[in-house]
Amino acid sequence: DAGVIQSPRHEVTEMGQEVTLRCKPISGHDYLFWYRQTMMRGLELLIYFNNNVPIDDSGMPEDRFSAKMPNASFSTLKIQPSEPRDSAVYFCASSFYGQETQYFGPGTRLLVL
Amino acid sequence: AQKITQTQPGMFVQEKEAVTLDCTYDTSDPSYGLFWYKQPSSGEMIFLIYQGSYDQQNATEGRYSLNFQKARKSANLVISASQLGDSAMYFCAMRERRSGGTASKLTFGTGTRLQVTL
């Protein structure tokens, strides 16, 4: 079975540009999580969805960040406009209710110049 | 206050030896879960093992076992018979279950970098 799929794997962009990160959760999973990993702050949850509905977005750093989940098999995390401090690895993870484990995608390494 | 504390930033272990990675946690929720993830240099997060707060027995998965001491609020990972491929960052994480039973977020520790030597 395919795991969580993320694209792109690497993204280099210039400050001010829009960045869109994509995630396809494991089929059948009804929870989807977006995390960010930096050296300074470690791994932190940005937002999570249940059945395509955002449940907790308290970790989203500011209005420049937005996330959507239009259907059960696709989610996006958008940064507009991007800033150098957004440089990080962004992970998507999924799970289903009744199973505790979150399975992570390979991550997107974002560099904003 | 830190919810998950990993006090060992780095550890060395010789190949074929066992190693214990420490993790302590803080929660007032009676129902919670504890996880360990491995992050090799390639960057992916790999699930290793899970322990529920009500589980009577310590979790085991192959060479991984979780030494769960509920009264001390510790959930140490034990890796037996270390292999070179075990060299990686290891993260302890906790899930607290909110009332209503909905899934809740994971809170991660800062990680321990394990280096396995010949």
**Strand, helix or coil at B52?**
strand
Q: For A34, which residue in chain B has the nearest alpha carbon?
A: B105
Token digits of residue B100? 């209503």
Gap between the Cα atoms of A45 and A35, Å rounded: 4
Beta-carbon contacts of B11 under 8 Å, excluding residues fewer than 6 positions away, are B19, B21, B112, B113, B114, B115
**What pLDDT, in 10s, does the model give residues A47-76?**
999 999 999 898 998 899 999 999 999 999
Q: Is B67 on the interface with A (CB under 8 A)?
A: no
**Weakest-pLDDT range from A29-38, A69-78, A96-105, B43-52:** A96-105
Tokens of B7: 């006090």
B37 in contact with A at a CB cutoff of 8 Å? yes
Query: What does A52-83 look like in DSSP terms, one character per residue?
Result: TEEEE-TT--STTEEEEEEETTEEEEEESS--
Residues of chain A contacting residue B44, judged by C-beta atoms under 8 Å apart: 104-107
Across the range A77-84, mean pLDDT stands at 97
- Find, among B45, B98, B49, B64, the residue nearest to A42 by Cα: B45
